Structure 1
């Protein structure tokens, strides 16, 4: 297959890496100065990678389009209009958008809105399996089925959402945690480092193995989640009522930035990324059926 990668920033580069690793040809496009040089330096030499600054040429022969433009609707509309005009009518156009609704995105592709959907990965897409597939009001079932099949074929775990919401599913779950994390720091309950430690040394380890409902079920012993809900349900509701909220005031932003700088003092960003990716790879290997 020929895959068009529209936008080659952090997400687009990772998508291209994944598609190439699975034997696909990739045509990438990005108008940013130096984009081709950065992409090739990151991915290394490949005969299957082509780059063009002509959007229409990039998608003309594509069998699947993965759009990764900036998270601004007007920019997405401009990109999708160009894709819509040049790509074959049967080609799925998947947006990596993390917040925008596919129905709103599809307004930028008036000729064939039925092939537009959200295919939202988790960073970095070449390592993290999750892809949220979100159809819009005009999206056809054929486009959804094709996207699900394509993502499975490149080793991802596609998850079809049943409704359009800002942030889709996983980002909304993350946002709930971030809201309380920022609130705890704002109230002086914990430092930035404390919050990160609480997750990495606690529930984060369990979440890498099983989701929140499955973990809650195991916490109930023989009675499972029914026991948990019976005995801890009222306390959990009381916690929900006590959870805080926070606004990105200049004071809180400054405290968060300073806290991250303090927690990561002496750390190299490239080393942190390498460590993160190595842990992700190790977790995925440990979860594999054969443990390897």
Structure 2
């Protein structure tokens, strides 16, 4: 794979605009493409808003980007692509086929897909072996995690190049050994959310209290370490081995009663009403800004002095 100095961001919605801001802060040259005429303004606002907290490297320039509506024209001369089109095979596949045909064989194609299979996304692409999932978490300019998936089609070289690229620009890439729908982190989120919905459906707790049970409880620990390491500490001096011997039977008995709720229209409305009550009807932009400011403080705290 070639060194990445110029990258095309294809699809400039919330995720693409956030990626563009982060790439710029790492000193890369960015070409943005999106069919929406509103996209340039969205990217401009995102860069302006995010720049003060991005910790830009010396020489990084927030104005070092340009817009090109045609994705094929946008990728010309680029060393890599971060694709962020809508999450549908019928949209992504022809787009990836078009841009892959316009790129040299050693240019990396990274897909922000939150759950599609890379082996299907790369069908019909020129050099499908260099098409790799590079799935960020929202907002990409703040959350370090990037899931890298090569599946059965990407080469080891391309997967390794993706990992090295994301690590070099300050992200925390993880590699999935095989492809599964939803990748890894979204599946973990989905498992927790399913039980959260079940608890509301069964009348066990309100939406606000379900959220508080995570945000004011285990979620604080999960910001520091994952579930395996968390339960390693829960085992005391004996660690995970002690946990497995003495606490696992209780946990597995809970598994048997975990729910699989049917999300009826009535349940959907109950959840929506519960969130509205929890948030007090505050605007999404206000809630997102509050979240992002807290994320910046949390990341700084995790980084230490």
TM score, norm. by length of structure 2: 0.92
CA contact (8 A) 1:106 1:136 kept: no
Aligned residue in 1 for 2:268: 253
Secondary structure at 2:105 match in 1 = coil
Aligned residue in 2 for 1:96: 112
Q: Is structure 2 residue 14 aligned with structure 1 residue 10?
A: yes
**Cα shift readout 1:145-184 (whole Å, capped 9, x = no counterpart):** 1111110111001101001100111011101100100111
- Mapping of residues 195-274 of structure 1, within 5 Å: 195-274=210-289
Q: Is structure 2 residue 281 aligned with structure 1 residue 277?
A: no
Query: Which residue of 206, 213, 221 corresponds with 1:191?
Result: 206
Q: Is structure 2 residue 53 aligned with structure 1 residue 49?
A: no
- Separation in structure 2 between the aligned mates of residue 258 and residue 236 of structure 1, nearest angstrom: 31
- Separation in structure 1 between the aligned mates of residue 262 and residue 7 of structure 2, nearest angstrom: 40
Q: Is structure 2 residue 90 aligned with structure 1 residue 74?
A: yes
Gaps of 5+ in 2: 49-60
CA contact (8 A) 2:17 2:42 kept: no
Q: What's the offset of the Cα at 1:108? A: 4.2
Q: What's the offset of the Cα at 1:262? A: 1.1
- Separation in structure 1 between the aligned mates of residue 122 and residue 46 of structure 2, nearest angstrom: 31
- Separation in structure 2 between the aligned mates of residue 35 and residue 247 of structure 1, nearest angstrom: 37
Q: What's the offset of the Cα at 1:228? A: 1.3
- Separation in structure 2 between the aligned mates of residue 283 and residue 8 of structure 1, nearest angstrom: 27
**Cα shift readout 1:192-243 (whole Å, capped 9, x = no counterpart):** 1011100011000000111111110111111111111111111111100010
- Separation in structure 2 between the aligned mates of residue 42 and residue 127 of structure 1, nearest angstrom: 12
Gaps of 5+ in 1: none
- Separation in structure 1 between the aligned mates of residue 263 and residue 92 of structure 2, nearest angstrom: 26
Please identify runs of 4+ aligned residues in structure 1 that moved more than 6 A: none
- Separation in structure 2 between the aligned mates of residue 138 and residue 237 of structure 1, nearest angstrom: 37
Q: Is structure 2 residue 42 aligned with structure 1 residue 38?
A: yes
Aligned residue in 2 for 1:174: 189
Aligned residue in 2 for 1:126: 141
RMSD: 1.2
CA contact (8 A) 1:136 1:164 kept: yes
CA contact (8 A) 1:8 1:29 kept: yes
Q: What's the offset of the Cα at 1:65? A: 0.4
Q: Is structure 2 residue 167 aligned with structure 1 residue 152?
A: yes
Aligned residue in 2 for 1:27: 31
TM score, norm. by length of structure 1: 0.96
